A = this chain, B = another copy of it.
């Protein structure tokens, strides 16, 4: 099944990502929303309802991240504002809910904001760290995010007889792209040598294999295709939206063949989105993609799970330069989570913004030529929830 109609994205806004100690959660939300309003050529009065995607903020700061506060900062009263959360897919979940709401006929135009303020607490104040302190049955055994993905990285190298240089190459590519993205947390290139000699975090993942902890917000304005055309907006359509949940926190379900490598959540979410968008050969039918490179290994596995290549061949795409900005199929033109950073609730919305701007031809130095169709993908929890969106002109 699919939405009764494709929903149009008519405006996007992304704050600079980084360590934004001088900006409050409210500032980030307002900055992202007003950039999206301006881009769409609308005002807050045109918006019928709003969604907030945020994960850590309410845990850390109490009520600041709750839905009604979004209405507060943005002066949306008395309009409906809701909050959704689903681990690292939170931002894309907010977009998904906004799109379903417009397609349902309930609202004509909605604002979706994803935001996260993560640097105001020390690392040990973060949600995951607190769970470790709370003797969480899984996390207290060291199965933190780097630990979990390191297990897959180790097996990947073993299975395909590779060295960790393949991970470093992903980092080098994404830092190179990030250097061209004025909104990225890290806007500098790194060398392969730097990546290889970096400090170990969770073997075999080193410093540059891990995305940073970052503050930031992103927003999109969604409406019907009819309304977008009426307004002569420079719009992009949401042609497919897939969400899959394949495990709880303690019951990770691995890929169908139990290789303990790939993520079934991504495979299932992609299957839904591709069916809706009529995509049969992702590599051929898509021109650009943003995928969830929380760690470099994840990007390689995503290539396989999203059908950009066969299982076990993800590393070839980076070795052969296929996914480089000047390659045949550019992935993470923004710099990915690796360079832009990963403010959890914001990430999915930022990815949708990046693909929207690519399809509109507005990405300047990191623009992919003739991009007509693109994909955005997030993966959450211990690889057990994934959202995939196909965007097209």
Q: Provide the A299-310 mask, 1 if CB < 8 A to any CB of B, else 0.
A: 000000000000
Q: Is A244 on the interface with B (CB-CB < 8 A)?
A: yes
Residue with the highest number of chain B CB atoms closer than 10 Å, among A77, A85, A253: A77
Within 8 A of B (CB), among A334-393: 380-381, 384-385
Question: How far does the alpha carbon of A248 sit from the alpha carbon of B62 in the complex, in Å?
Answer: 12
Q: Which chain B residue shows the least CB distance to A242?
A: B80
Tell me whether A1 and B108 are in contact (CB under 8 A): yes
Within 8 A of B (CB), among A213-258: 241-251, 253
Tell me whether A63 and B246 are in contact (CB under 8 A): no
Tell me whether B78 and A82 are in contact (CB under 8 A): no
Say which one of A97-105, A142-150, A171-179, A318-326 lies at the interface with B.
A97-105
Question: How far does the alpha carbon of A77 sit from the alpha carbon of B73 in the complex, in Å?
Answer: 37
> For A63, what are the chain B residues with a Cβ–Cβ distance below 8 Å?
131, 136, 248-249, 381
User: How many identical subunits does the complex contain?
Assistant: 2
Q: Among the listed B48, B68, B131, B381, which residue makes an inter-chain contact with A385, where contact means beta carbons less than 8 Å apart?
A: B68
Q: Among the listed B1, B62, B67, which residue makes an inter-chain contact with A48, where contact means beta carbons less than 8 Å apart?
A: B1
Question: How far does the alpha carbon of A100 sit from the alpha carbon of B73 in the complex, in Å?
Answer: 26
Tell me whether B62 and A136 are in contact (CB under 8 A): yes
> For A385, what are the chain B residues with a Cβ–Cβ distance below 8 Å?
67-68, 81
> Taking chain A's interface residues, is the majority helix, strand, or loop, or is none over half, making it mixed?
mixed
A68 and B243 contact, Cβ closer than 8 Å, known pairs A4-B4, A62-B131, A78-B265: no
Q: Among the listed B64, B68, B103, which residue makes an inter-chain contact with A245, where contact means beta carbons less than 8 Å apart?
A: B68
Question: How far does the alpha carbon of A108 sit from the alpha carbon of B268 in the complex, in Å?
Answer: 18
Tell me whether A100 and B106 are in contact (CB under 8 A): yes
Q: Among the listed B49, B69, B248, which residue makes an inter-chain contact with A73, where contact means beta carbons less than 8 Å apart?
A: B248
Minimum Cβ distance to chain B for residue A198 (Å)? 30
Within 8 A of B (CB), among A59-113: 59, 62-64, 66-69, 71-73, 76-87, 93, 96-97, 99-101, 103-108
Q: Among the listed B82, B93, B104, B248, which residue makes an inter-chain contact with A86, where contact means beta carbons less than 8 Å apart?
A: B82
Question: How far does the alpha carbon of A63 sit from the alpha carbon of B101 in the complex, in Å?
Answer: 27
Question: How far does the alpha carbon of A80 sit from the alpha carbon of B100 in the complex, in Å?
Answer: 14
Q: Among the listed B3, B49, B244, which residue makes an inter-chain contact with A78, where contact means beta carbons less than 8 Å apart?
A: B244
Q: Among the listed B77, B81, B86, B265, which residue makes an inter-chain contact with A253, where contact means beta carbons less than 8 Å apart?
A: B77
Given A3-B105, A49-B243, A78-B264, output 19 extra A-B contacts at Cβ < 8 Å.
A1-B107, A2-B105, A63-B131, A63-B249, A66-B86, A68-B245, A68-B247, A68-B381, A68-B385, A72-B247, A72-B249, A72-B250, A76-B245, A77-B246, A77-B253, A81-B385, A85-B85, A100-B104, A103-B105
Chain A contact residues, CB within 8 Å of chain B: 1-4, 48-49, 58-59, 62-64, 66-69, 71-73, 76-87, 93, 96-97, 99-101, 103-108, 130-131, 134, 136, 241-251, 253, 264-265, 268, 380-381, 384-385
